[in-house]
Amino acid sequence: MTTQNETPKFTNRLILETSPYLVQHAHNPVDWYPWGEEAFVKARQEDKPILLSVGYAACHWCHVMAHESFEHEAIAKLMNDLFINIKVDREERPDIDSIYMNAVQMMTGHGGWPMTVFLTPEGVPFYGGTYYPPEDRRGMPGFPRVLISIAEAYKEQRDQIASNAQTIIEQLNKLNEFTATDELTSDILNKAASGIMRTFDPENGGFGRAPKFPPAMVLSFLLRQSQRRHDDDLQSAVEMTLIKMANGGMYDQLGGGFHRYSVDEKWLIPHFEKMLYDNALLSRIYLDAWLVTGRVFYQQIATEILDYVAREMLDANGGFYSSQDADSEGEEGKFFVWRPEEVVALLGEEDAQLFNRYFDVTPHGNFEHAMSALHVDTELTAVAKIMNVTPERLAAAITRGKQILFEVREQRIKPARDEKILTAWNGLMLRSFAEAARVLKRDDYLQIAIRNAEFLTTQLKRDGRLLRTHKDGQSKLNAYQEDYANLIDGLLSLYEATFDERWFIAARELADTMINQFWDETEGGFFFTSNDHEQLISRAKESYDNATPAGNSVAAYALQRLALFTNDAGYRDYAERTLKLLANQISRFPNAFGHLLCALDLYLSDAPEIAIIGDQNAADTNALIDVVFSRYIPNKVVACAAPNESSAISLLAARPQVDCKATAYVCHNYVCEAPVTEVDRLRDTLS
The residues with which 332 forms a beta bridge, in sequence order, are 327
Secondary structure of residue 359 in the 3-state scheme: helix
Secondary structure of residue 410 in the 3-state scheme: coil
Q: Give me the residue spans of the domains in the chain.
A: 13-174, 336-411, 609-686
How far is the C-alpha of 591 from the C-alpha of 250, rounded, in Å? Answer: 21
How far is the C-alpha of 653 from the C-alpha of 641, rounded, in Å? Answer: 10
Report long-range pairs for 31-35 (Cβ below 8 Å, ≥24 apart): 31/79, 31/80, 31/85, 32/85, 32/86, 32/87, 33/84, 33/85, 33/86, 33/87, 34/86, 34/87, 34/88, 35/86, 35/88, 35/93, 35/96
* Helices assigned H by DSSP within 175-201: 186-197
- Cα 351–Cα 357–Cα 363 angle in degrees, nearest 5: 100
pLDDT, one tens digit per residue, over 66-95 is 999 999 999 999 999 999 999 999 999 999
Selecting from 1.10.3470, 3.40.1350, 3.40.30, 3.90.1530, what CATH number does the domain 609-686 have? Answer: 3.40.30
152 Cβ neighbours under 8 A, 6+ residues apart: none
Burial 409-435 (b: 16+ CB within 10 A, else e): eeeeeebbbbbbbbbbbbbbbbbbbbb
Amino acid 7: pLDDT:
66
Amino acid 137: pLDDT:
87
Domains 13-174 and 609-686 in one fold: yes
CB atoms closer than 10 angstroms to residue 601? 22
Main-chain dihedrals φ then ψ at residue 305, nearest 5 degrees:
-60, -50
Contact of 243 with 203, CB cutoff 8 Å: no
How far is the C-alpha of 367 from the C-alpha of 388, rounded, in Å? Answer: 28
Q: How far is CA 188 from CA 349, 633, 687, in A?
A: 57, 21, 25
Contact of 560 with 571, CB cutoff 8 Å: yes
- Residue ranges of the chain with pLDDT lower than 50? 1-4
Contact of 440 with 283, CB cutoff 8 Å: no
Contact of 496 with 483, CB cutoff 8 Å: no
Contact of 304 with 256, CB cutoff 8 Å: yes
How far is the C-alpha of 418 from the C-alpha of 428, rounded, in Å? Answer: 17
Q: From the centroid of its chain, how far is CA 474? A: 23
HEC assignment per residue over 293-352: HCCHHHHHHHHHHHHHHHHHCECCCCCECCEECCEECCEECCCCCECHHHHHHHHCHHHH
Rg (CA), the chain: 26
In terms of C-beta density within 10 A (0-12 exposed, 13-18 middle, 19 or more buried), how is residue 153 classed?
Answer: middle
pTM for this entry: 0.95
Amino acid 406: pLDDT:
98
How far is the C-alpha of 127 from the C-alpha of 391, rounded, in Å? Answer: 60
In terms of C-beta density within 10 A (0-12 exposed, 13-18 middle, 19 or more buried), how is residue 53 classed?
Answer: buried
HEC assignment per residue over 544-604: CCCCCCCHHHHHHHHHHHHHHHHCCHHHHHHHHHHHHHHHHHHCCCHHHCHHHHHHHHHHH
Q: Among candidates 67, 81, 60, which has minimal Cα distance to 25?
A: 67
* CATH class assigned to 13-174: alpha beta
How far is the C-alpha of 680 from the C-alpha of 687, rounded, in Å? Answer: 11
Q: Among candidates 255, 408, 269, 407, which has minimal Cα distance to 324?
A: 255
Q: Dihedral (C-alpha) 383, 389, 392, 395: value to the nearest 10 degrees?
A: -50
Please give the single-letter amino acid code of residue 268. L
Q: Among candidates 315, 289, 246, which has minimal Cα distance to 472?
A: 315
Amino acid 93: pLDDT:
96
Amino acid 1: pLDDT:
44
26 Cβ neighbours under 8 A, 6+ residues apart: 11, 12, 14, 15, 17, 32
Instruction: Please report which helix (H) or strand (E) contains residue 460, including its range.
Output: none
Burial 106-138 (b: 16+ CB within 10 A, else e): bbeeebebbbbbbbbbebbbbbbbbbbbbeeee
How far is the C-alpha of 402 from the C-alpha of 397, rounded, in Å? Answer: 8
How far is the C-alpha of 32 from the C-alpha of 50, rounded, in Å? Answer: 11
Contact of 429 with 309, CB cutoff 8 Å: yes
| Cis bond upstream, residue 363 (ω within 30) | no
